């Protein structure tokens, strides 16, 4: 039996907003089974809540945002969502006192660490998985992403294609069998990256006021300008994989299937998820109410105690 999860107790964190550059506080509270991930803008009067789901996702120039029917948005949710996916957290209240979740270091690692230290609470209701039952593919200008049925678990295979002196051609592909631990150790620390020319453009338009070398890898025409260099030699493709994991968890349910993509991004990933969910012949909602023989269809989520021991 694989059950739904939330966090063991309330916890909060403070960081800088990528858009505003201002200090942002986000408070997380445990939620009951089948609540989903619910964001609340506590800076608005009255407060506004938006449930995380594929239909509310908007890709912006800077980040992924959740937007409700009245146009109220909460931005920069993608790396937090990737961390929730790895921890198998299905239910959570996220209260933010700003239009955006703090960007932290541009990776998922601060969220993993926070929740692993806080503790994970298993609930008594079975977890719901989305199992891909037939191939779904989306394409755009030579970029593509697809989901196909898998005999076991969730597998990802992603290729990027940058022509840049600091991005080795043989470090632009990454494949993984998704487990919480593989995500935490091999992918979660990969940071967002951008090019100096983008930074100049954004600052000229008063965007990304909180963006800095503290929360992104920045490349000029020749090299990575962050003095500390890269965290993984294939950090760029790993960050794109991290983004895809977050994007595919926007439905609030873990996927059982094979994800394969070429030069994909938030927009294409979200279109893929919507395409999957648009036809009930593409998928099946599964619960594992009995112990599985050989765990053949399941994913191992992050064991918080092991992660804390590793830090
Ligand atoms: Zn990202």
Give 199 Cα–ligand 1 centroid separation in angstroms. Answer: 15
Give 235 Cα–ligand 1 centroid separation in angstroms. Answer: 11
Question: Is pLDDT at 290 greater than 80 in this prediction?
Answer: no
Question: Is pLDDT at 296 greater than 80 in this prediction?
Answer: no
Give the position of tokens 């609930």: 123
Query: Structure tokens of 300?
Result: 């191992």
pLDDT band at 205 (very low <50, low <70, confident <90, very high): confident
Lowest-confidence range among 93-102, 173-182, 197-206?
A: 197-206
10 Å Cβ neighbour count for 137? Answer: 13
Average pLDDT over residues 92-108: 97
**Separation CA 279–CA 167 (nearest Å):** 39
Give 100 Cα–ligand 1 centroid separation in angstroms. Answer: 14
Higher per-residue confidence, 277 vs 301: 277
Question: Is pLDDT at 103 greater than 80 in this prediction?
Answer: yes
**Separation CA 206–CA 163 (nearest Å):** 28
pLDDT band at 257 (very low <50, low <70, confident <90, very high): very high
**% of the chain exceeding 90 in pLDDT:** 83
pLDDT band at 303 (very low <50, low <70, confident <90, very high): confident
pLDDT at position 203, please?
A: 84
Query: Structure tokens of 12?
Result: 């909060």
pLDDT at position 204, please?
A: 86
The domain spans of the chain are: 3-126, 129-306
Q: Say which residues have a Cβ less than 8 Å from residue 228's Cβ, sequence separation at least 6.
A: none
Query: Structure tokens of 27?
Result: 């408070």
**Separation CA 107–CA 174 (nearest Å):** 17
pLDDT at position 308, please?
A: 61
Give 49 Cα–ligand 1 centroid separation in angstroms. Answer: 23
pLDDT at position 6, please?
A: 97
Domain spanning 3-126: CATH superfamily: lpxc deacetylase, domain 1 (3.30.230.20)
From the list 19, 155, 253, 266, the catalytic residue is: 266
CATH architecture of 129-306: 2-Layer Sandwich (3.30)
Give 306 Cα–ligand 1 centroid separation in angstroms. Answer: 25
**Separation CA 74–CA 25 (nearest Å):** 13
Give 195 Cα–ligand 1 centroid separation in angstroms. Answer: 14
Lowest-confidence range among 9-23, 95-109, 265-279, 281-295?
A: 281-295
Tens of pLDDT along 130-152?
Answer: 999 999 999 999 999 999 999 88
Question: Is pLDDT at 82 greater than 70 in this prediction?
Answer: yes
Give the position of tokens 């012949």: 281
Give 29 Cα–ligand 1 centroid separation in angstroms. Answer: 24
Average pLDDT over residues 74-84: 96
pLDDT band at 59 (very low <50, low <70, confident <90, very high): confident
Element (H, E) at 132: strand 128-132
pLDDT band at 288 (very low <50, low <70, confident <90, very high): confident
pLDDT at position 151, please?
A: 84
Q: What share of the chain is helix, strand, coil (3-state, %, to 5)?
A: 25, 30, 40
Tens of pLDDT along 155-185?
Answer: 999 999 999 999 999 999 999 999 999 999 9
pTM to 2 decimal places: 0.94
Average pLDDT over residues 248-271: 95
Q: What mean pLDDT is reported for the chain?
A: 92
Q: Are strands 3-7 and 120-126 parallel, antiparallel or unpaired?
A: antiparallel
> Residue 266 catalytic?
yes
Average pLDDT over residues 25-34: 98
Give 131 Cα–ligand 1 centroid separation in angstroms. Answer: 25
Give 77 Cα–ligand 1 centroid separation in angstroms. Answer: 9
């Amino acid at each position: 039996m694989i059950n739904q999860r939330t966090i063991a107790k309330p916890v909060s964190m403070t960081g800088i907003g990528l858009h505003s550059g201002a200090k942002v506080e986000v408070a997380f509270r445990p939620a009951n089974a089948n609540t989903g991930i619910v964001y609340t803008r506590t800076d608005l009067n009255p407060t506004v809540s938006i449930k995380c789901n594929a239909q509310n996702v908007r890709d912006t120039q800077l980040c992924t945002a959740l937007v409700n029917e009245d146009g109220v948005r909460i931005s920069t949710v993608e790396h937090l969502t990737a961390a929730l996916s790895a921890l198998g957290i299905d239910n959570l209240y996220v209260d933010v006192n700003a239009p955006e979740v703090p960007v932290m270091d541009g990776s998922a690692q601060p969220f993993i660490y926070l929740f692993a230290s806080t503790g994970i609470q298993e609930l008594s209701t079975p977890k719901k998985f989305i199992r891909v039952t037939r191939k779904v593919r989306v394409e755009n200008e030579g970029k593509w992403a697809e989901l196909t049925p898998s005999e076991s678990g969730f597998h990802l295979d992603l290729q990027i294609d940058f022509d840049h002196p600091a991005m080795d051609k043989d470090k632009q592909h990454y494949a993984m069998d998704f487990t919480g631990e593989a995500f935490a150790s091999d992918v979660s620390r990969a940071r967002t990256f951008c090019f100096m020319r983008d930074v100049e453009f954004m600052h000229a338009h008063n965007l990304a006021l909180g963006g800095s070398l503290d929360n992104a890898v920045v490349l000029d025409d020749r090299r990575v300008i962050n003095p500390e260099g890269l965290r993984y030699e294939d950090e760029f493709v790993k960050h794109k994989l991290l983004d895809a994991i977050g994007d595919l968890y926007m439905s609030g349910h873990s996927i059982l299937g094979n994800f394969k993509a070429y030069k994909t991004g938030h927009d294409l990933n979200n279109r893929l998820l919507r395409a999957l969910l648009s036809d009930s012949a593409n998928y099946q909602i599964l619960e594992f109410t009995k112990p599985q023989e050989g765990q053949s269809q399941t994913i191992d989520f992050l064991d918080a105690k092991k992660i804390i021991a590793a830090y």
